[in-house]
Structure 1
């Protein structure tokens, strides 16, 4: 069964709370049952009181009727007393009929006798005595039944109270004794399980932070948030391995470029320079001067081309002059021509003092040149601007032109080899790149955003060699 992390956390208290609620419901039901029985006892008591009142009124009526019959006459005061006693009797009988469950014959008898005793219908001693002869035995019988019921309920109530106390105590002990240990066990089980998994993830993250890029095993089935986190860490580690591999590959490629450039400088360029000097030292006879001059020109051109190749392989001006000066030098030597678009280059002085790593500087340098090359080759622009500046905790490179415009679709890794090279170099140094509309009326804006956290690592290149001017 799949339980989310939140469900595992609240399972133990929810179990305790559920058992406690069940216990409260049971106690409430028990007290409700007792309350029902108490209400029944109260109802029986009220019935007994009504029967006593009815019997007392009937006795007084019977005594007055016998007294009036013996005297043979009745006055107004006695009629009023008879009416008042009848009202008491009628009210008491009405409460009896409301409180007691009686057979229909008994209910009809009570109603009929009360109606016959009404003095408003006229005084009839024989009718009154006949009705009282039927009413009083019935009231006495009902009173005896009510008294017996009262005694039974009193005994039952006392017994129920004792049972209730004992049962409540027992159920409370059992319920709380079950809920607390069960909640504790569930809490310990899930807490230990969660802490063990969190510790595993923490150890894996710590190893990755220390440089050990061993991917933690991903769970076979994702059941909760911790499994999702484990899968994310696994995927992140694999991507980090690819990024680091790319970075190492680029570092190796840059180092190999540097070595080749040094070899070309130390060997090939030196040999060509020796040949040039040897040619210049030859006696210039009239018949071979033109040929020697042509060879010298070809050698100078070959030396210039070789210098360009060396600069492309490993821009030594970047190490000697710095990032801004290296870019400025490249633009002035190669891009400041009439047939090429007009440009504006700005490198903030803050960039020079950031102490970026050599790989980071090289990647920024090559990304900038690649972006400018794309403008010159594809944008058909008459002007472009290159800006490198610091914004808060990020380094921002912007190349903006007024050409025909270009916007790669998000998530699509197309666009040619140049754009892929830009993406790979940016990914290797942890930068984000995007293309959008230019602030000119037309054209494209390329922007690279490099977070400075983790990239402000000054490198002391102990193996840096100074080759002089080539």
Structure 2
């Protein structure tokens, strides 16, 4: 499936941007994983500080408890210091319990020891020392674990940093290199393809401007803007061909009028002049035999005039159809000139074929012109005319065994141009080939059934 032209233009940068986005996503994921490890490291640092604070507070409280146990009277200022130390211990213990998940038994020991060390419940050196003896081993054990974990994370962190730098550098180089190469490849490929199609359309337009009315091939399906442009040029060329064909047809019609005028002047008018002279002679000297002769000449002149009128507009074409009219015309030619043998074949299923009036008349005119060329130039002894259905088209063939068409004349005579322009006007294609006989010319006209207003059945 071909992309639209604007999509082809932005395809390469879009893919490069997509790869860059994926690379940024990969880098973000890598640094996000590192940030999680940093957060864990910061958590351990906070926990370590809290443990250090709790450890120092417990050591100081233990020293004060031992001193108080030896005194009979307790100094009030020392009790205030003990209360302040308990406050620090309690805050540090809360932070530790919030950061570390301990077993229920261990957590119970912690909470009970901190509660027993509260001076507001009264000072009892035995109770204080007992609580400190339970709390301090847990603090030392947890401190050791935290210290080991900090050292492990420090090593892992350093290793992760090195691995991350190496991995991200490698991936970045690979993705950037691949993106650049892929972008260049897609840009060159699509640009070359687009430029080639634009150059083809430009050459077609230049050729049409120079007078070669060969339309560019119309795309089967419009997939992008260049296909739409090619289709537009194709349609415009076809319309231009019809306009030029119309002009050529007018020239051909004028040529036909000149030829008909010459036929009337050379034959019909001469015959009428002969009849007139005979009538003038009869006025001076009546002669029954001469009168019968003049009557025959008048009948011949009327037939000749009727033939000219029929050539101008064959009424049998509308009444009997194209096939029967062609057969009648060939019979007339055979009756006129017995030296040439004519053979007319009309495919049976085409006898009742209904074609538009203009197309039927054009096909008839082309066939008559082709037969006229055979009679006038071919020096043939046999001529065949055939009208049949060929695939999805209507095929008209006029073939002779004459001398053939001279190379310098082929395709350039006025009559041949007239035939070609008539065919173009109805969307048909004409071609002159070598005859199937040992010598001669084969003329073919192929009219698509769609152009003839018919559908394939």
TM-score range, shorter chain: 0.5 to 0.7
**Structure 2 matches for 1:123-142, cutoff 5 A?**
123-142=123-142
In the TM superposition, residue 215 of structure 1 has moved relative to its aligned partner by 1.1
The alpha-carbon deviation at position 190 of structure 1 amounts to 0.7
Determine if the alignment matches structure 1 residue 5 to structure 2 residue 1: no
Q: Distance in 1 between matches of 2:126 and 2:146?
A: 30
> How much has 1:244 moved relative to structure 2?
2.0
Is residue 165 of structure 1 aligned with residue 149 of structure 2? no
* 1:25 pairs with 2:25: yes
> Please, what is the CA RMSD of the aligned residues?
2.5
More moved, 86-95 vs 238-247:
238-247
Q: How does 1:271-350 map to 2 (within 5 A)?
A: none
2:64 equivalent to 1:64: yes
Q: In the aligned structure 2, how far is the partner of 1:149 from the partner of 1:155?
A: 10
Unaligned stretches of 5+ in structure 2?
262-457
Aligned residue in 2 for 1:105: 105
**Equivalent position of 1:217 in the other structure:** 217
1:199 aligns with 2:189: no
Give yes or no for the alignment of 1:47 onto 2:36: no
SS at match of 1:222: coil
Does residue 237 in structure 1 map to residue 237 in structure 2? yes
**Distance apart, 1:154 and its partner CA:** 0.5
1:251-275 Cα distance to aligned partner (Å, 9 max, x none): 66679889999xxxxxxxxxxxxxx
Distance 2:70 2:251 in 1: 138
Partner Cα separation in structure 2 for residue 43 and residue 253 of structure 1:
103
Describe the SS at the equivalent of 1:73: coil
CA–CA distance in 2 between the matches of 1:40 and 1:17?
A: 34
Task: Name the SS for the 2:49 alignment partner.
Answer: helix
SS of the counterpart of 1:170? helix
- Whole-angstrom distance in 1 between the partners of 2:52 and 2:118: 20
Paired residues in the alignment total 265
Cα deviations across residues 141-182 of structure 1 (Å, max 9, x unaligned)? 000000000000010011111111111111111111111111
d(CA) in 2 for partners of 1:117 and 1:258? 135
Hey, what does 1:354 align to over in structure 2?
none
Deviation, 1:20, is 1.2
What residue in structure 2 maps to residue 461 of structure 1? none
Counterpart-to-counterpart distance in 2, 1:232 and 1:13: 30
Distance, in Å, in 2 between the alignment partners of 1:129 and 1:105 is: 20
- After superposing on structure 2, the runs of 4+ consecutive aligned residues of structure 1 that deviate more than 6 Å are 254-261
TM superposition shift of 1:230: 1.2
- For 1:109-151, what per-residue CA distance to the aligned partner results, in whole angstroms no more than 9, with x for missing partners? 2122111111111112221111111100000000000000000
Residues 42-74 of structure 1, C-alpha deviations (whole Å, 9 max, x = no match): 111111111011010001101111111110222
Per-residue CA deviations over 1:267-324 (Å, capped at 9, x if unaligned) read: xxxxxxxxxxxxxxxxxxxxxxxxxxxxxxxxxxxxxxxxxxxxxxxxxxxxxxxxxx
**For 1:225 and 1:207, how far apart are their aligned partners in 2?**
21
Q: Which runs of 5+ in 1 are unaligned?
A: 262-470
Displacement after TM superposition at 1:77 (Å): 1.2
Measure, in 2, the Cα distance between the counterparts of 1:115 and 1:243.
110
2-side partners of 1:151 and 1:70: how far apart?
Answer: 42
Cα distance in 1 between the residues matched to 2:105 and 2:222? 76
Query: What is the 5 A alignment of 1:353-392?
Result: none
How far apart in 1 are the matches of 2:246 and 2:84? 113
Cα deviation, residue 24, structure 1? 1.1
Separation in structure 1 between the aligned mates of residue 95 and residue 254 of structure 2, nearest angstrom: 109
Displacement of 1:80: 1.1
How far, CA to CA, are the matches of 2:151 and 2:140 in structure 1? Answer: 17
Q: Distance in 2 between matches of 1:93 and 1:59?
A: 14
Match of 2:395 in 1: none
Query: Quick one: distance in 2 between partners of 1:167 and 1:218?
Result: 53
1:187-217 deviation per Cα after TM superposition (whole angstroms, max 9, x unaligned): 1111111100110011111111222111111
TM-score of the superposed pair, with normalisation by structure 2: 0.55
CA distance in 2, matches of 1:209, 1:104: 96
Measure, in 1, the Cα distance between the counterparts of 2:104 and 2:198. Answer: 78
1:32 is paired with a residue whose SS is helix
Indicate the residue corresponding to 2:148 in structure 1: 148
In structure 2, do the counterparts of structure 1 residues 254 and 102 end up closer, same or farther at CA, with 3 Å as the change threshold?
Answer: farther
Please give the alpha-carbon distance, in whole angstroms, between the structure 2 residues aligned to 1:221 and 1:35.
Answer: 55
Instruction: Give the superposition deviation at 1:225.
Output: 1.8
SS at match of 2:102: coil
Which residue of the partner structure matches residue 309 of structure 1?
A: none
Cα distance in structure 1, aligned partners of 2:137 and 2:73: 28
Which residue is 2:89 aligned to?
Answer: 89
**In 2 relative to 1, CA 116–238 (structure 1 residues): closer, same or farther, beyond 3 Å?**
same
> The residue matched to 2:148 in structure 1 has which SS?
helix
